[in-house]
Structure 1
């Protein structure tokens, strides 16, 4: 899955890989959805993290942004979509940047775990600040900025659970795929 762009066939393959992974991310997010105060908790983050392992950094950024952005749009959370696209793209970037560092002599599982944890921390922080903006300017009338900061705090525990579940699924699945020789990382 780690081909260099040699010609049109590789570009078409890359587009197909991104499209399939975007669809998998979207479907995984729709599979289990637990409503929360301002959105929902899902297992789609496991596929965002897995996309980094399967597709590499660049393709996973695009697939994660498309898959999760599409999910918000189809779920009726259109106001969240721009934030989700940015947050999930950066989430994939962070995980990929750590996992695919040059000259890694460490245990690959530990490197994935570190990358996934830092990506999860970013996701929690990103959605906290997105929640502030959404609360202040879209969800509620006459909310002060201080109130928006407090309202957004309510989503931190569910986003933490979402990140932990995503990591707990992505690590063993990526290791199983590695043992099957389908992936390199």
Structure 2
């Protein structure tokens, strides 16, 4: 019983640290591009999101990404976007983690990031369409979303290649040793 309690505590700490890292990287390192209707926010919050999802799996990826970036939306004045971000980015983290839990290869990591990019583009296109009531305006945000994921991929892939030697993927129910 004592071991289970320790495992739960450790999982809670990992999830909280992931949420904090995503929030901080989204908050402190962002740029607003003048190319889209919503200002084209491009940030580095996807970097810790993808690293966490690849190394620690789908549940940690979903929690860190969804909650971390939705929290940024709430605190940063993008409140209307928070529910969409929670779902879209949570799904991105879940998908990346699910793909990488099964296969720990560079090809799988690239495939996972491509899947996340598709989720981001389609998800935020739909969110903007709903928010703005216009299905043409969201097209302007697609380049910023592609740049955001592309920059994150360039940073994440070499970092994960080094870190994966020191981290073992485990499920939410399983403990890290």
TM-score grouping bracket, smaller chain normalisation: 0.7 to 0.9
Matched, 1:74 2:58: no
How far apart, CA to CA, are the structure 2 residues paired with 1:29 and 1:172? 20
Cα contact 1:22–1:63 (8 A) shared by 2: yes
The TM-score with structure 1 as length reference comes to 0.83
Corresponding position of 1:175: 161
Corresponding position of 2:51: 50
Cα contact 2:56–2:168 (8 A) shared by 1: no
Between Structure 1 and Structure 2, how many residues are aligned?
163
How far apart, CA to CA, are the structure 1 residues paired with 2:162 and 2:130? 40
Cα contact 2:73–2:79 (8 A) shared by 1: yes
Corresponding position of 1:164: 150
How far apart, CA to CA, are the structure 1 residues paired with 2:64 and 2:80? 20
Matched, 1:38 2:38: yes
Matched, 1:12 2:12: no
Cα contact 2:57–2:94 (8 A) shared by 1: no
Q: Tell me the secondary structure at the aligned position of residue 155 of structure 1.
A: helix
How far apart, CA to CA, are the structure 2 residues paired with 1:20 and 1:93? 17
The TM-score with structure 2 as length reference comes to 0.86
Cα contact 1:91–1:122 (8 A) shared by 2: yes
How far apart, CA to CA, are the structure 2 residues paired with 1:54 and 1:26? 18
Q: Tell me the secondary structure at the aligned position of residue 34 of structure 1.
A: strand
Q: Report 1:22-171 matches (<5 A).
A: 22-36=19-33, 37-39=37-39, 40-101=41-102, 104=103, 108-136=105-133, 148-171=134-157
How far apart, CA to CA, are the structure 1 residues paired with 2:107 and 2:168? 15
Unpaired segments of 5 or more residues in structure 2?
170-177
Corresponding position of 2:173: none
How far apart, CA to CA, are the structure 2 residues paired with 1:171 and 1:100? 16
How far apart, CA to CA, are the structure 2 residues paired with 1:112 and 1:54? 10
Tell me the alpha carbon deviations over residues 125-148 of structure 1, each in whole angstroms, 9 at most, x when there is no partner: 101110101112xxxxxxxxxxx1
Cα contact 1:117–1:167 (8 A) shared by 2: no
Cα contact 1:99–1:115 (8 A) shared by 2: yes
Runs (4+) off by over 3 Å: none
